[in-house]
Amino acid sequence: MKTRLRANLFLLLPVTCFLLLNFICFLLVPPACLAVDDLFDIKPVADGIYAAIAKPAYKVNCNAVIILLDDGVLVVDTHSKPSAARALIEQIKKLTPKPVKYVVNTHFHWDHYQGNEAYPSSWPAGVEIISSEATRANIQRLGIPRIKNEIVSMPQEIARLKSDLEKASNAEQKTAIQENLRQAEAYFAELKLIEVTLPTMTFDHSLILHRKSRTVEILWLGLAHTNGDIFVFLPKERVLCTGDSLHGWTPFMGDSYPYDWIKTLDAAEKLDFDAVIGGHGDVMHGKEKFELWKQYFQDLMERTAAVYAEGASLDEAKKSVSDFLVKKYAAKFDPGFPNSVIGNVAKAYQVIAFPR
């Protein structure tokens, strides 16, 4: 069902409330919240459309997409923490005086929605946060408990970094661990203060913004990386934003539906686009990466099914299937591929051994 998004009239909150929020932020947030403009490389992709490519961080930030509309801005994804979203907001303000009116969460993973609160607190007059129905439900059912778990596990992570720091054998290593420790401590402090901000507008299959200057199609095309991933498609400019359904790193498959994911990528490929902005890594072009991921998923599932049928244990499957995949694909993915692939084999084994 296609829904036309109509202009919304929001109550304007008093200016004092806005100032108060900023003052509270100033008092409460860790130093990282105040760091601005060095977290993203802003790359123009088409007229009024920018990819915000996240720079490496200890707690990863996803990319964002900044889409200028006639009367406001639409931003795709909000990173792992409000301070990262605030840093991007500062960069957006250098591009345009228009307010952000729409934020899209491509899916429920921590590195794509935990910064949501930064947008309504920066524009208290009203920001609609848009996601699929499944993503909103996933944030409530899975995202919030995962934050609570991370708050419990972070002190151990910080202790591990401190112990690594003591063992560091050279100055270069020491500097790198010190920086990671600083970011981990800032993230932990911020995590405890996160106000989970849920999407305010959901849809089942598609939501289309019809504007004079451009049309923005927000599409759910099937099960993929999660059950709620969406694509943001700009038909006139031939730009497709894919979230983590397709990006420049190795796919993370923990919450995925591998067989459906292949079909969903097939459906996305039918759209007419050139530039592709994924949730991680650089801007891509054309359909090459779609073909790579589909072939990778196919090989992963076929090989795992074959060794499972021969009676391989999970550990045996991890070894033999990942050996095969590393040989065939390591040069085509990021340097972390050999480590990530083991988790993917475990997921494939689970899907094959316990079909839904």
Sites of contact with Zn ion (CB under 5 A) = 62, 111, 244, 279
Instruction: Name every residue whose Cβ is closer than 8 Å to that of residue 345 and which is 6 or more positions away in sequence.
Output: 300, 304, 317, 318, 321, 322, 325
Identify which of residues 62 and 221 has a Cβ nearer to Zn ion in the complex. Answer: 62
38: number of Cβ within 10 Å: 10
349 φ, ψ (degrees, to nearest 5)? -60, -45
CB-wise, 53 or 317, nearer to Zn ion?
53
Min dist CB 184 to Zn ion, Å, is: 18
Q: In terms of CB distance, is 80 or 180 closer to Zn ion?
A: 80
Minimum Å gap between C-beta 115 and Zn ion is 12
Q: Strand order of the sheet with strand 239-243? A: 2-4, 206-210, 215-219, 231-234, 239-243, 275-278, 284-285
CA distances from 68 to 40, 47, 61, 126 (A): 17, 9, 22, 17
CB of 143 to Zn ion, least distance (A): 13
CB of 309 to Zn ion, least distance (A): 33
Q: In the complex, what is the shortest distance from the CB of residue 97 to Zn ion, in angstroms, rounded to a whole number?
A: 30
- Rounded Cα distance between 65 and 109, Å, is 17
Query: Which backbone phi and psi does 352 adopt, to 5 degrees?
Result: -75, -40
Question: Based on CB atoms, which residue is closest to Zn ion, 227 or 304?
Answer: 227
- Taking the C-alpha atoms of residue 230 and residue 246, their distance in angstroms, rounded to an integer, is 11
In the complex with Zn ion, the residue whose CB is nearer, 111 or 217, is 111
Least distance to Zn ion, CB of residue 179, Å: 22
Helix (H) or strand (E) holding 259: helix 258-269
Q: Kindly state the tokens that stand for 245.
A: 């359904």
Shortest separation between residue 74's beta carbon and Zn ion, angstroms: 19
CB of 106 to Zn ion, least distance (A): 8
Q: What is the nearest approach in angstroms of Zn ion to the Cβ of residue 253?
A: 12
Residue at 156: amino acid letter = Q
329 vs 293: CA distance, rounded Å: 10
Nearer of residues 51 and 317 to Zn ion, judged by Cβ: 51
Q: Would you say 293 or 308 has its CB closer to Zn ion?
A: 293
Q: Which is nearer to Zn ion, 202 or 226 (CB)?
A: 226
Is the C-alpha dihedral spanning 248, 253, 256, 262 positive or negative?
positive
Q: SS3 for 98?
A: coil
Task: Report the residue number, 147 or 312, with the smaller CB distance to Zn ion.
Answer: 147
Residue 231 has which token pair? 């694509």
Distance from the first to the final alpha carbon of the chain: 27
